[in-house]
Amino acid sequence: MPLGQDKVAVQGFYSCTPVKLSGENIIVYGPKMIYGINDSLDLFGKIGSATYGTTGSTVVGIGGKYAVPKTLLDVPLNIAAVLSYDSNSGKDVAWSTISLGLIASKYLRNNFTVYGALYGVQNSVKVSGSRSADSNDIQWGLGAKYQYNRKYGFLAELMMFTAASDSYSTFSVACQYNM
């Protein structure tokens, strides 16, 4: 669900993606700011750190989420479209990702919301001394949000994708403070 017009939220996020070929994890963490443009559209930006083995880098991302008004769809779910761009750069690596997808969510009760996501993702990776690797992937996953009260919320999700003919998963958690 969108924040609402002129509302602001701050998240602290952490994600972990195990890389099977190397036995290492890609860890990304940092703050994310969300701003409600109106009752349907949120814009967000993030800056964080990423590590892969002993390599560190900086992650910068921007994006938006548009919640389809309930009057347009006669379904018992909330539907939103998401577009985002992340850029990750460090001493020996440059990685950018463009994502376009849909999220379907359902408020259950007791402040719990569950959601499913389906994204098309375009990755471009350049590691020093190697050829650049570009890929187009489908990413899907499930998540849950618990809104403790009007100010604090907690999110957890598991996203799955395929790269180099192998399946991968990313586990993410976030804490959100609504200002």
Residue 1 has pLDDT above 70, yes or no: yes
What tens digit of pLDDT does each residue of 77-135 get? 899 999 999 998 877 777 888 999 999 999 998 899 999 999 998 878 776 666 667 77
Alpha-carbon distance 153 to 105, whole Å?
Answer: 16
Burial of 3 per CB tally in 10 Å (0-12, 13-18, 19+):
buried
Angstrom distance (rounded) from CA 62 to CA 37: 14
Backbone angles phi, psi at 7, to 5 degrees: -95, 150
Integer Cα distance of 122 and 68 in angstroms: 24
C-alpha–C-alpha distance, residues 167 and 17, integer Å: 11
- Residue 102 structural domain: 8-178
pLDDT of residue 132: 66
- Whether 3 maps to a domain, the answer reads no
In the chain, the number of structural domains is: 1
Single-letter residue type at 167: S
- Name the helix (H) or strand (E) containing 148: none
Residue 27 inside a domain? The answer is yes
Per-residue pLDDT, 41:
96
Is 23 among the domain residues?
yes
Instruction: Supply 104's token pair.
Output: 């379907």
* 148 has a pLDDT exceeding 90: yes
Evaluate whether residue 110 is within a structural domain. yes
Pair of tokens at residue 85: 């761009």
Angle at 76 between CA 71 and CA 77, to 5 degrees: 90
What pLDDT score was predicted for residue 124? 80
The pLDDT value given to residue 129? 65
The residues, any chain, with a CB within 8 Å of residue 155's CB and separated by 6 or more, are: 11, 143, 144, 145, 146, 172, 173, 174, 175, 176
pLDDT, position 131: 62
Alpha helices in the chain (DSSP H): none
Task: Kindly state whether residue 138 falls inside one of the protein's structural domains.
Answer: yes
| Segment 25-80, tens digit of pLDDT | 889 999 999 999 999 999 999 999 988 777 788 899 999 999 988 777 777 889 99
**Res 140: pLDDT:** 95
Residue 165 is assigned to a structural domain of this protein: yes
Q: What is the CATH number of the domain that holds 53?
A: 2.40.160
The answer to whether position 125 is within a domain reads yes
* 2 located within any domain: no
